[in-house]
Amino acid sequence: RGSSSASQPSGSGPVFISPYLTKKQIEESPSRTYFLRKASGDVDGAREKENITRRLTCAFLQECGQKLRLPQLSIATAIVFFHRFYARMSYEHYDRFTVATTCLFLASKVEETPKKLKDVVMETYKTQHNQEKAPEPETKEFFELKEKILVCERILLQALGFDLSVEHAYRPLLAYVKSIKGTRDLAQIAWNFINDSFRTTICLQYAPRHLAAAAAHMSARYLETHNKRAIVLPDHQSGGKWYASFQTDMEIIDDIKCQIFAMYREKGQNNNSGGLSEATLHHLMSDKGEHGSSSAAPAADAAAPSPSAAPAVTATPSQPAEIAIKPEPKAKAEEGGAPTARENGSSLHDAPGGCKRGQDGAGLEDGPLDGAPDAKRSRSDGA
């Protein structure tokens, strides 16, 4: 790209021509190499440690963003920046809290919801250190904190290749639910799954429309499990399968589902909470119901926890009332809601010629809303 190695940030990996990464590229990232070295070559241990670090820092971003009263879209964009940064850089060279704070500050400007650097530094400092007060703005310590973020912002911009474009899966999801006259529950549960996908690197691998399709499918299966009745996603008007609306296929959908379910299992094992039951996960992975048939779900599934609570979705002229989602108490501190769905049901990442991996743009979707518990763990985490 014409830039010398001297101009590259410390610990950077190879310059990726496409913002979409393969699993192999993610496995070979500088961050994974760092955790692998710390784990003395234990591949599974390194992967688990990086996953936990990622999940905790996303929760930290979510909590700080809510305290700053940033719209969910801005928080989501900050999490995208964080994932993209550490796909190229190493945790060894860059403190994750400094980078996360910088991502939040930059995202607030990119999404035109700017916050003063002083306010961002104060909230992130208090959250990271579990304190009620940050250093006084007039002190040398506070000045140095701000300077650290400004320096990191330049490194972040360079690591992102100055590409600040981020799209989210809510647009194609809500447009699809609207087009099939789906219920509020279908939209809300799908929204929840999109939120939870933030804890993974799905955003680095797939365009938003693919995640939207997987979330819609998972939502239908989840509602089948809990309502004990079939939820059918109608075939596309062209005569193709329902997922033709998203220009995707079941192979991609299944891969996204597997990654989300792996995160649920890992989170449940580490926290003894927050995971879906095995029976529910099994049913969510099932393609039953796609053609209108479904078996009754086990009674035990009725008590299975749902995905993270969804932010409020307010009905707009282009978003019909039947998919307007009432705010959940857990998300009342949030503002902004969902992006307005496009009338034609397309994603901003949709491209002529069908869906192909590794083309352009890595859109990250909304972050987890059960961030507070994880964020508390992150303060004592040594990653």
H or E element at residue 270: helix 250-271
For residues 138 and 321, the model is more confident at 138
Residues 33 and 143 in one domain: yes
Could you tell me how far CA 177 lies from the centroid of its own chain? 20
Residue 49, SS3 per DSSP: helix
Q: What is the pLDDT of residue 11?
A: 53
For residues 42 and 376, the model is more confident at 42
Distance CA 357, CA 205 (A): 7
Domain boundary among 235, 259, 285: 285
Residues 57 and 149 in one domain: yes
Distance CA 341, CA 215 (A): 16
Question: What type of residue is 376?
Answer: K
In a domain, 339, yes or no: no
Residues 154 and 240 in one domain: no
* Whether the predicted pLDDT of 373 surpasses 70: no
Domain boundary among 226, 256, 285: 285
Contact at 8 Å (CB) between 156 and 103? yes
Residues 173 and 155 in one domain: no
pLDDT tens sequence across 125-153: 999 999 989 999 999 999 999 999 999 99
In a domain, 266, yes or no: yes
pTM over 0.85: no
Residues 255 and 145 in one domain: no
Residues 60 and 102 in one domain: yes
Residue 131, SS3 per DSSP: coil
pLDDT tens sequence across 332-349: 333 333 322 333 333 323
Contact at 8 Å (CB) between 288 and 298? no
pLDDT tens sequence across 241-282: 999 999 999 999 999 999 999 989 887 766 544 455 555 555
Residues 37 and 153 in one domain: yes
- Give, in order, the Cα–Cα distances in Å from 381 to each of 55, 105, 128, 162: 12, 23, 10, 30
**Residue 325 phi, psi dihedral angles, 5° rounding:** -105, 130
Q: What is the pLDDT of residue 230?
A: 85
In a domain, 133, yes or no: yes
In a domain, 332, yes or no: no
Q: 187 Cβ partners below 8 Å, 6+ apart?
A: 173, 174, 177, 219, 313, 323, 325
Residues 209 and 141 in one domain: no
Residues 143 and 209 in one domain: no
Query: How many CB atoms lie under 10 A from the CB of residue 51?
Result: 19
Task: Indicate the average pLDDT of the chain.
Answer: 74
In a domain, 371, yes or no: no
Q: Which residue has the tokens 């796609």?
A: 290
Determine the average pLDDT of the residues in 58-78: 93
Q: What is the pLDDT of residue 339?
A: 29
* Whether the predicted pLDDT of 234 surpasses 60: yes
Question: CA nearest 20: which of 363, 367, 365, 352?
Answer: 363
Question: CA nearest 83: which of 57, 44, 116, 114?
Answer: 57
Residues 106 and 196 in one domain: no
Could you tell me the residue range of the domain that residue 96 belongs to?
A: 23-160
For residues 41 and 312, the model is more confident at 41
In a domain, 325, yes or no: no
Q: Which residue has the tokens 């529910």?
A: 280
Query: How many CB atoms lie under 10 A from the CB of residue 229?
Result: 11
In a domain, 345, yes or no: no
Domain boundary among 160, 186, 203: 160
Distance CA 132, CA 120 (A): 14
CATH code, 273: 1.10.472.10
* Whether the predicted pLDDT of 32 surpasses 80: yes
In a domain, 313, yes or no: no
| Residue 69, token pair as written in the block | 């009263």
Report the domain count for the chain: 2
Residues 141 and 29 in one domain: yes
Residue 134, SS3 per DSSP: coil
| Residue 207, token pair as written in the block | 């365009």
pLDDT tens sequence across 186-216: 999 999 899 889 889 999 999 999 999 999 9
Lowest mean pLDDT among 27-36, 75-84, 260-269, 325-334: 325-334
DSSP code for 341:
P
How many residues would you count in the chain? 383
Residue 94: burial class (beta carbons within 10 Å; 0-12, 13-18, 19+): buried
Q: What is the pLDDT of residue 105?
A: 98
The packing angle between helices 208-227 and 250-271, to 10°, is 70
Residues 98 and 193 in one domain: no
Residue 316, SS3 per DSSP: strand
Question: CA nearest 99: which of 112, 81, 117?
Answer: 81
